[in-house]
Amino acid sequence: MEWNRRDFMVGPIVMAGTAVLGRTDSLLTKLLGDSGPLIQRTLGKTGLTMAVVSMGVMNADIPGLLRRSYELGIRHFDTAAGYQGGRNEEMVGSVIKELGVRPEVIIATKQHMRNRPPNVAEAKRQFMDGVEASLRRLQMDHVEILYYHAVDSVEDARADGPLEALQTLKKQGKTRFIGLSTHKTSEILPEAMRQNIFDVFLVTLNYSMAHDTQMLNIIERAADRGIGIVAMKTQAGGTAKPDAKDRKQLPPISQTALLKWALNHEFVTTAIPGFSTYQHLEQDFSVVRNLAYTVEEKAFLEDKNFFAQAEFCQQCGKCAEDCPMHVDVPSLMRSHMYVVQYRNPALARDTMAGIEGGRGLAGCDGCESCKLSCRNNVQIGRKIAQLRTLARDNFVC
């Protein structure tokens, strides 16, 4: 059973108790039967220290989930301008203000650069305007980390407009640190390191990539240079709900096993699992004091079936080389994951809207069946077909 906004009844009682005690952690900790310190790490040269489990807010639409995360000891909250059309930032801002804990928390947000403005000055202006709007929604005068969001091409990683905007915003004190998020680590991180302005990288890291030593080495090299590493998509899309017929279901134990696997890389400071229910919060947070695998978790990681079951698109783009219409298959696979596995249609729509003209789902209209194949066992044709059906229904699934 999943706890949601309607049936979660313990939270208000627990929170009332903590308010009476004037403490945010002790009562809840006792109730949960946890003990011992949270594992904390420092985010590279930023000096920011945080628990290894943070909150990726993107799929959450329950303010109580943020309060509960704070109560448990999470201090790093990750959002973005594009999540839920800005409402995600508004929720973060409201909850932090209501809790009165702004000095204690680390807020990260992200800004896209889309549609390639005609010149550097215009690109810089658009980027800076976008960040000012984020700060208004967050009701904050600055954030701790401002990411250049979803930089998935070398051209974007070199784009002067956003790079200048980020440095100006840092000088103005609107962000303490500059970050970059990407789905194409091996391609983008070397270029981003050459730019020499980034303090933090937000990268996809999960067990389905365990054999990609080139990628792991690149991340480690960045960490060795003092760049803070935050991991996303650590649970390879999560356990699909029973009605998500598209995908075989991973067992619940997979989620803690996968999260521990990512965090057992010392170069990772923290992960931002995108939990959207209280149950998933409890599950993810349960690893924060001890990253040793249980017998069951070890058995799960040793079961090679995972790699077929996960069907995790690593965004390598190899399949797209064979697409006659040059469709942006990696972005479509990501959109599919957002709508089917994350149940976040807004994020899927936003991702599809960011696809360059002519390379979106409409390109598939003339194809009777997709013949592309994936070395990571992603069933591309099935996912494209399902995405087309979902898009026709405006992503109501």
329 interacts with ligand SF4 by CB under 6 A: yes
- Residues with Cβ within 8 Å of residue 66, at least 6 apart in sequence: 55, 57, 60, 77, 91, 92, 95, 96
What are φ and ψ of residue 386, in 5° steps? -70, -40
By CB under 6 A, residue 318 contacts ligand SF4: yes
Strands (E), the chain: 40-42, 49-51, 55-56, 76-78, 106-111, 143-148, 175-182, 200-204, 228-232, 270-271
Beta bridge partners of 231: 203, 271
The rounded distance, in Å, linking the Cα atoms of 355 and 361 is 9
Contact indicator for 279, 2 with CB cutoff of 8 Å: yes
Size, binding site for ligand SF4 by CB under 6 A: 24
Would you count residue 205 as binding ligand SF4 (CB under 6 A)? Answer: no
Angle at 160 between CA 154 and CA 162, to 5 degrees: 90
Figure out which of the listed residues 230, 378, 387, 390 binds ligand SF4, where binding follows CB under 6 A: 378
Can residue 268 be called a binding residue for ligand SF4 (CB under 6 A)?
no
Q: For residue 187, give the amino acid letter.
A: E
Give yes or no for a contact between 205 and 189, defined as CB atoms under 8 angstroms apart: no
What is the crossing angle of helices 87-99 and 63-72, to 10°? 50
Segment near ligand SF4 (CB under 6 A), from 139-147, 239-247, 327-335, 346-354?
327-335
Residue 31 CA to residue 80 CA, distance in Å, equals: 33
CB of 233 to ligand SF4, least distance (A): 13
Among residues 81, 327, 339, 340, the one that binds ligand SF4 under rule CB under 6 A: 327
Q: How buried is residue 93: exposed, middle or buried, by Cβ count under 10 Å (0-12/13-18/19+)?
A: buried
Burial class (CB in 10 A: 0-12, 13-18, 19+), 86: middle
Q: Does 372 bind ligand SF4 (CB under 6 A)?
A: yes
* Closer Cβ to ligand SF4, 144 or 328, answer by number: 328
For residue 60, state whether it binds ligand SF4 (rule: CB under 6 A): no
Q: Measured between alpha carbons, how far is 298 from 251 in angstroms, rounded to an integer?
A: 13
Give the one residue of 38, 233, 363, 391 binding ligand SF4; rule: CB under 6 A: 363
For ligand SF4, the binding residue among 38, 92, 150, 374 (CB under 6 A) is: 374
From the list 96-104, 138-146, 177-185, 376-384, the region that binds ligand SF4 by CB under 6 A is 376-384
| Shortest Å, Cβ 389 to ligand SF4 | 13
Is residue 310 within the footprint of ligand SF4 (CB under 6 A)? no
- Closest to ligand SF4 by CB, 49 vs 376, is 376
Q: Does 359 interact with ligand SF4 (rule: CB under 6 A)?
A: no
Q: Of the candidates 330, 345, 354, 360, which one interacts with ligand SF4 according to CB under 6 A?
A: 330
Stretch that binds ligand SF4, among 176-184, 190-198, 224-232, 323-331 (CB under 6 A): 323-331
Strand, helix or coil for residue 224:
helix
Q: For residue 102, which of 113, 94, 110 has the smallest C-alpha distance?
A: 94
The CB-of-366 to ligand SF4 minimum distance in angstroms stands at 7
The residue from 99, 120, 197, 325 that contacts ligand SF4 (CB under 6 A) is 325
Residue with smaller CB distance to ligand SF4, 221 or 318: 318
323 is a site residue for ligand SF4 (CB under 6 A): yes
Member of 140, 263, 364, 390 binding ligand SF4 (CB under 6 A): 364
Q: With binding defined as CB under 6 A, does residue 388 bind ligand SF4?
A: no
Give the contact letters, 332-351, x = binds to ligand SF4 (CB under 6 A), - = no.
Answer: -x------------------
Q: Specify the residue for token string 């996968």.
A: 258
Q: Which residues bind ligand SF4 (CB under 6 A)?
A: 313-319, 323, 325, 327, 329-330, 333, 363-364, 367, 370, 372, 374-376, 378, 380, 384
